[in-house]
Structure 1
Amino acid sequence: MHHLILGAGPAGVIAAETIRKHAPGDQITLVGDEREPPYSRMAIPYLLVGDIGEPGTYLRKGADHFAQQRIELIHAQATKVDAQGKTVTLDNGQTLAFDRLLIATGSHPVRPPIPGLDLPGVDTCWTLQDARDIATRAVKGARVLQMGAGFIGCIIMEALQKRGVQLSVVEMGDRMVPRMMGEVAGNMIRDWCERQGVRVYTGHKVERIEKGEGDALKVHLSGGTVLDADLVISATGVRPAIGFLEGSGVQCLLGVLTDDCMQTNVPGIYAAGDCAEAFDPFTGKTIVSAIQPNAADQARVAALNMVGQRAALKLVTQINVLDTLGLISTSFGNWQGVPGGEHAELTDTAACRHLSLQFKDDVLVGCNSVGLTDHVGVMRGLVEGQIRLGDWKDRLLKDPMRLTEAYLARAQGQGDWSGAADARRR
């Protein structure tokens, strides 16, 4: 049996290792589209700060790890999948046959249609090569403009600020992290960043980038503002890297559609990670949730099914925990609320603290928090456990800060008491 895995990020690596554990005699080929050893993109900010070197980003530290696992590693990019013929064509001219295929190609940065985006000094922050390019320009005192203040943008911003640059952030939304936070929370994060010395332009677009004096750039914003920059970083979001599947017969919407076994509409072809649009039993919908815990869970489920062991995804985790220049914010589940639901909100602007709870009947279905870390484990337990709160819902509507009490009171009777110890620790 030949298992072909496209994508050498966390999902691809975990899937390959899981297959090897359960099918020691099968052939495994792992295809990664970069020349680097398989690495974690989430480690790039730590590389930029200088906390780690490039080897610290590698997913597996041993140089011969994949050889020892008898996993063939090919550096190439898939250009075509023939689902009926069970072959994949690579950009190096190879055509690989497979018995089982896992699509774990992840995401790629969104490229906005902005004139000047190809100029020297304009980079994404997505690959190790991007990190090398950024490090040469993002020196202390350099003028850096970042486009985008979403989740990924805020992580990059943290690394840039620690490098001592003069940082400006432009976000077209009316608040920071608009896909994770409501208006109150997003603006609270913006105010915090400005107090840390970052200039934030929400509700603005970059209209064009021009060459300035020497190696500098001139960045024109909507409304007429012009900013000088030594480096421009585009962090305007990502989308699943699935263009090579066009015409393959594998069904895609935003991502590659899968069932709860991570199998696509084509038997024997699976998907996992940032490129997968997985069925979430919790919401009854298909969701692309590009976070590493999902990649790991989906990879294991896909791998087990690829070797003939039935496994199903319990849920698609919708969790974001973000450290923005020292301010912790979280988002769980349906943080925007659901039709007909109720909500409770608590805000202390002076202390930079905010809590928003969303209910459907007596179940907490989503929440946001800023500046509050004590309830992170409890919020996750309540949302993912679908704990029925009973009369505790009314108490939380009056006082949202009683989350831990509600969890401890209600989880035991519903078979979720195992999380209570973790709730106390948090």
Structure 2
Amino acid sequence: MKNGVVIVGAGHAGVQAAASLREEGYDGPVILVGDENELPYHKPPLSKTFIKDQQAKPQPLRGEAFYTGSAIDFRPGIRVERIDVGGRRLEISGGGVLPFDRLILATGARPRLLPLPGSELSGVVSLRSLGDARLIRELSAQSEEVVILGGGFIGLEIAATLTAAGRKVTVVEAVDRLLGRAVAPVIAGHVRQRLEATGVRILTGTTIERLEDENGRVSAAITSSGERLPAQMVVIGIGVVPNVELAEAAGIAIGNGIRVDQQMRTSVPEILAIGDAASYRHWFTGGDVRLESVQNATDQARLAARTIVGHTDNYSAVPWFWSDIGDMKLQMVGLIAGGDSHVVLGDVVENKFSIYHYAGSRLLGIESVNRPGDHMLGRKMLGAGFSPSPQIVATGPDGLKAALAAFQQAEPARAAG
């Protein structure tokens, strides 16, 4: 393939796809295109250590030597305007074209906008990129009071970080609890209690009517009930929107993201999509999902590379996620939607516990707070297809390990029989 593979998007998914192509033995051209003028970097630290420490530097996903040493043509600061499907080429902003034999779309997602009077004011920010994090860090140094709109992971991570740095933080969430899309109510309640104990004010079931300004900079958020929340910075964290516009304009199938099959191919077989922008039929739940996580991005990238070199594996990675919020390391494995019962291990009061979620007798997933061993064991169990009974879970980690070992030992015998 003389034009090789072009990857659009230089985040976790795009960089892993480039690396995996080489690891899989692909020897054609690999071109990685990013729209930021930065060496690709880790995104999770941006909401935590980076915005807290004025001296913190971004953590590169790979050093510069990786790209040259792996013959990966990394091109920063390039914006793709259009995909010419028939001509197999990209049209670049400012002129120029980039031909491809295969194309991987790792276009990610962007913060959801809030149609709110005053949202255009200085001091109103969202976090997605390194540039956003630098701005938040700069503004937080000038702010005593911060309002965060949205009680999801990003909003709560920032709330914990800025509170620890001495800011007065208020979180405003429109629905009646935190982390509504992400975790079970008992986890959400625990997170709220721990954050409030550190001084974070949390308003659930509350919306913001408008933002006020002083000399063009935000000065307060006004709730729908009329309460004035003083703020020199307002962070909007109400979720993200997948970047599907390039694919959609090219006639590629869209459905809550860029639709892909089990090998990460879009409706145009020469074009693949991975990461936050990709929507697919999940092997475990049977439903259509679009997952926003580093694990999903990198696992899909590895599979896309295998697809390009001729393998036909189906995507079957076990989903897992994490978030560091104050003194809580939240780790989740599996997808718990549809659960009807659960078992708790550990001690909620001690801030170290796990919740095992079931649908009938089937283990769907595990949510852990400061119990990383449970999380790692859960990944092994779900990866092996092992669903321990609630009674076995109640015996604790040692009983679970023994049951998993027995299950794995029995599996070859069943296959042979």
| TM-score (normalised: structure 2) | 0.88
The change in CA–CA distance for 1:416 and 1:17 in structure 2 (over 3 A counts) is: farther
Q: Does the Cα contact within 8 Å between 2:172 and 2:206 map onto a contact in 1?
A: yes
Which runs of structure 2 are paired with 1:36-115 in the superposition (5 Å)? 36-44=38-46, 45-50=48-53, 53-54=56-57, 56-62=58-64, 64-74=65-75, 75-115=77-117
CA separation of 1:416 and 1:13: change in aligned 2, threshold 3 A: farther
Distance 1:3 1:238 in 2: 27
Q: Which residue pairs with 1:308 in the alignment?
A: 310
2:122–2:218 CA contact under 8 A, matched in 1:
no
Give the whole-Å Cα distance in 2 for the aligned partners of 1:19 and 1:379. Answer: 29
One-letter identity of the residue aligned with 1:359: Y
Structure 2 partner of 1:328: 329
Which 5+ residue runs of structure 1 have no aligned equivalent?
Answer: 419-426
AA matched with 1:20: R
Q: Counterpart of 2:356 in 1: which secondary structure? A: strand
Residues 221-260 of structure 1: CA distance to partner in whole angstroms, max 9, x if unpaired?
A: 1222111111111111112111222231211211111122
- How far off its partner does 1:130 sit? 1.3
Q: Is the 8 A contact 2:367 2:375 kept in 1?
A: no
Q: Is the 8 A contact 1:20 1:26 kept in 2?
A: no
What is the aligned residue count?
Answer: 407
Partner of 2:415: none
**Structure 1 residue 408 corresponds to structure 2 residue 411:** no
Matching residue of 1:379: 378
The alignment partner of 1:197 has SS state of coil
Contact 1:274 1:288 in 2 (8 A): yes
* Letter matched to residue 414 of structure 1: F
The answer as to 2:145 corresponding to 1:143 is yes
**Contact 2:8–2:14 (Cα < 8 Å) also in 1:** yes
Percent of residue pairs bearing the same amino acid type: 29
| Equivalent residue, structure 1, for 2:129 | 127
Following superposition, the deviation at residue 111 of structure 1 comes to 0.6
What is residue 319 of structure 2 aligned with on the other side? 318
Local SS of the residue matching 1:120? coil
CA contact 1:328–1:371 (8 Å) conserved in 2: yes
Q: Counterpart in 1 of 2:169?
A: 167
In angstroms, what is the RMSD of aligned CA positions? 2.7
Conserved? CA contact 1:257–1:264, under 8 Å: yes
Cα deviations by residue, 1:58-117 (Å, 9 ceiling, x for unpaired): 22223x542333322232222222323312222232222211000001111111211111
- Runs of at least 5 residues in structure 2 that lack an aligned partner in the other structure: 412-417
Maintained 8 Å contact 1:336/1:358: no
| CA shift for structure 1 position 405 | 4.1
Structure 1 residues 247, 129: CA separation in 2 closer, same or farther (over 3 Å shift)? closer
Given that 1:76 and 1:92 are in contact with CA atoms closer than 8 Å, whether structure 2 keeps it comes out as no
State whether residues 385 and 416 of structure 1, in contact with CA within 8 Å, keep that contact through their aligned partners in structure 2: no
Partner of 1:155: 157
Q: What is aligned with 1:280? A: 282
